[in-house]
Amino acid sequence: MSGVGSESSKPLSERRASRPIRLGKLAVGGDAPVSVQSMATTDTRDRQATIDQCRMLQAAGCDAVRVAVPDDDAADNLGAIAKAVTIPVIADIHFNYHLALRAIEAGVAGVRVNPGNIGGQKRVREVARAAKERGIPIRIGVNGGSLEKELLERYGYPAPEAMVESAVRHIRMLEDEDFFDIKVSLKASDVPTMVRAYRLAAKTFDYALHLGVTEAGTLLQGSVKSAVGIGMLLAEGIGDTIRVSLTADPVEEVKVGIHLLKSLGLRDGGMTLVSCPTCGRCSVDMITATQRIEKALENVSEEVHVAVMGCEVNGPGEAREADVGIAYGHNNVGLLFKKGKVVRRFAADELEEALVAEVRSIVEERSGKLPIVNQ
């Protein structure tokens, strides 16, 4: 079988060894699974709206969520937000060391702050000590769009070497305070620059790496750019946690991130859907049929491999390789497959319902909840 978890879906490269850290209960780096993060788009000063969105991200499978902390009013809500969800909440802070201290006191699981931007080594010392006392890691976030002026003048553009040099500067400021619970990101909107920066960083230090293509764009363009950039690095064994940055509902970021990891054999759980792109041989509307099936099964949590195929050329073969599959044929009929065997021939308009019912039966069986049998 070629489903997820089989020999064919093992990671392409051995993972880079990185220092492990913990975001609350979530392990990052070392031999921990690659995690998916997102960022709330709500105004953190609106406590309930932010809690509601964090809960939606959690339900979608997000492993950690970041929230913006632009001022004291936002910081006031951090404790309540962190308690309202079971996934780690990370405070995103720029320039203001006071807000970093407040976030740490509020009980967030992590802080994103660049030591070189908060007012000198004395303030770095205060933040590092507070974070160390609470066991809270700090993420250093280097961005190609906001590099130090001196580095831009020396390199002439946001070069990968400049980005890594910037990261090392920030790292040393924390290391000088005996602080080593560090995670680093080196994001750029240009995929080749981002990839080269992470490759160089992976050779330069052993801290956990948070991967992402920043300002990637809309759902379509951003997903493609992120899949290329993040996927290349993960396939090389580089990366410990990811965020797919989209100008879209952040739930979509989580969905794309999860599918990205699943496609590389780096995450289990949920439905893996194989479907044909349709052609002139197909006798049904494959596009809408597949969309309906995907929608009906979008909340499946157990690992299940599903195939939806439109004709007899590749259809039966792909359907046999899935846990459950259907293959449409001529004369308005099709076949339902389960674990490599034909279960039954159905009329074409009955196949969707039969497939969904079979998947749900498998999910109930695997989750330990036996399907109810009508007496």
Known binding-site residues for [4Fe-4S] cluster equal 276, 279, 311, 318
Eight-class DSSP state of 286: H
What is the SS3 assignment for 281?
Answer: coil
H-run or E-run covering 307: strand 304-309
Alpha-carbon separation of residue 1 from 314, 321, 328, 339 (angstroms): 15, 5, 21, 9
Residue 36 CB partners (closer than 8 Å, separation 6+): 61, 62, 63, 241, 242, 243, 244, 254, 257, 258, 261, 267
Region of 61 on the Ramachandran plot (φ > 0 left; ψ -120 to 50 alpha; else beta): left
Helix 121-134 / helix 97-106 crossing angle, nearest 10 deg: 10
Q: Which residues are annotated as a binding site?
A: 276, 279, 311, 318
366: its two tokens: 């695997």
211: its two tokens: 């991967």
Q: Which amino acid is at 68?
A: A
- What size, in residues, is the chain? 375
